[in-house]
Each structure stands twice: as structure tokens, then as C-alpha cells.
Chain A
Amino acid sequence: DIQMTQSPSSLSASVGDRVTITCQASQDISNFLNWYQQKPGRAPKLLISDASNLETGVPSRFSGSGSGTDFTFTISSLQPEDLATYYCQQYDNVPFTFGPGTKVDIK
């Protein structure tokens, strides 16, 4: 199975800050990597597919990059509504696996 790791596990930042989350796969997954946002009490929402493709309707302050084993997710200017847990997920191989999540708090 492909193991996904994320760092940090949590962070606290101010409105307007730039926030970066990293995700690492235990083997090469090319660009078969998604990023999801899960707000408290809600279902996850796909933000970025194929490592860097912003889903329709998702604000442009969200972005993703990387390929192979190392990936980055960035919020360029943190907003209050970005309070959530963010997960990376690989879909190169079955079983499809998620990272443990990064909880983002607003200072």
C-alpha cells in the first residue's frame, strides 16, 4: 500500500498569511494526487486534482504543485472561512489512501 504523510499536523495562522502544507507519498505516484478541504461537521470537498488542477469554483488563493513523491498545497492569503482540515490523497494505486490531515486554525 502507498503511505501518505503530511506536515504539519496542525497550524495556526493569521488572516492574510501564506500557508503551506506538504504531502509525501511512499512511492512515485506521478501526479495522481488530490487535495480535499473538510470543514467541521461537513463532508470533504475536492479542491485540487491531478496535483495542481484547481476545481471549478474554488478560489484562486488555493494552489497545488509537485509530482512523483513530494507535493505542496498553498493558501496564498488565509481567510476566516479556510478554517478546516486539509487532506492529500493518492489515486495511483488501490487501495486509495489519504494523508492524516492538517488542521488549519485562524489566530
Chain B
Amino acid sequence: EVQLVESGGGLVQPGGSLRLSCAASGLTFNSYEMNWVRQAPGKGLEWVSYISRSGGTIYYADSVKGRFTISRDNAKNSLYLQMNSLRAEDTAVYYCAGDVDTGSFDFWGQGTLVTVSS
């Protein structure tokens, strides 16, 4: 069974940093492209970032470009999101999601909550 488990969320002050992790199991991790998708409280879904199987191709939403960095370690079956210069509007549940076709979010983790507040 495919399983994605996010961790690393929490409360952080504006301007602070946080690193999210997503541990994958039950799949050949390096066969899948990966993404981060977020959902602000009571709001809809927003794609954040994409990374290819090898890590050689990366995309970001304009809202996080220059502040967030996506990476992966295929040897550890793990995906990461380094979030710097956090703002109140970054408050959301962050999901990792894997895809078979680029941009198609075929399977999801349970999410981790990031709260940016003083």
C-alpha cells in the first residue's frame, strides 16, 4: 500500500523558517514525480511546487518562488520543502502528492499544518 507521511509542521513566527518532510513507503519512490499542495484553513487547494523523478526539473508557484525550495532524496524515499521568509498567508495544511503524469496528483499524504503567527 502506498503511503506518504508528512512531518515538520508547526507554529513559526513571520519571517521564520521551517522544513517539511514527506516519507514515502509502499512504492518505488524514484519512479514518481512529487509535489507539494497546500490548503489554507477553510479555503481551496493551491499547488506549491513540483520536482521530477531525478530532481533535475523543478517548478514553483509564483506565491512561493524565491522563498521555498523543494528537494528529494531517492535513497531515503523522502521529499522535502524548505520554507524561508514565512508569511501569515503561508498558513495552511501542506500535503505531499505523487504523480504518474506531470501535474496529476494521484496519491496524497495526510498533510501537516503550518501556522505562521506572532
Give A contacts to B, CB under 8 Å. Answer: 32, 34, 36, 38, 43-46, 49, 87, 89-92, 94-101
Q: How many residues of B contact A (CB 8 A)?
A: 22
Interface of B is mostly: loop
- The answer to whether B1 has its CB under 8 Å from any CB of chain A is no
Are B61 and A91 closer than 8 Å at their CB atoms? Answer: no
Are B108 and A96 closer than 8 Å at their CB atoms? Answer: no
Query: Known contacts being A36-B105, A43-B111, is A94 close to B59, with CB within 8 Å?
Result: yes
- Tell me which of B8-16, B44-52, B74-82 binds A: B44-52
User: Which residues of chain B (76-118) have a CB below 8 Å from chain A?
Assistant: 95, 101-111
**How far, in angstroms, from A90 to B44 measured CA to CA in the complex?**
14
B62 contact set on A, CB distance < 8 A: 95
Contact of A44 among B59, B103, B104, B108 (CB under 8 A): B108
Are B108 and A45 closer than 8 Å at their CB atoms? Answer: yes
**How far, in angstroms, from A43 to B93 measured CA to CA in the complex?**
10
Query: Known contacts being A97-B47, A98-B45, is A34 close to B105, with CB within 8 Å?
Result: yes
- Distance in Å from the Cβ of A99 to the closest Cβ of chain B? 8
Contact of B103 among A43, A94, A99, A101 (CB under 8 A): A94
Are B45 and A87 closer than 8 Å at their CB atoms? Answer: yes
Are B95 and A43 closer than 8 Å at their CB atoms? Answer: yes
Are B104 and A46 closer than 8 Å at their CB atoms? Answer: yes
In this complex, what residue of A is CB-closest to B110? Answer: A43
A sample of 20 more A-B contacts (CB under 8 A), given A34-B105, A98-B46, is A36-B45, A38-B45, A43-B95, A43-B109, A44-B108, A45-B108, A46-B105, A46-B106, A49-B104, A87-B45, A90-B103, A91-B101, A94-B59, A96-B35, A96-B50, A97-B47, A98-B44, A99-B44, A100-B44, A101-B44
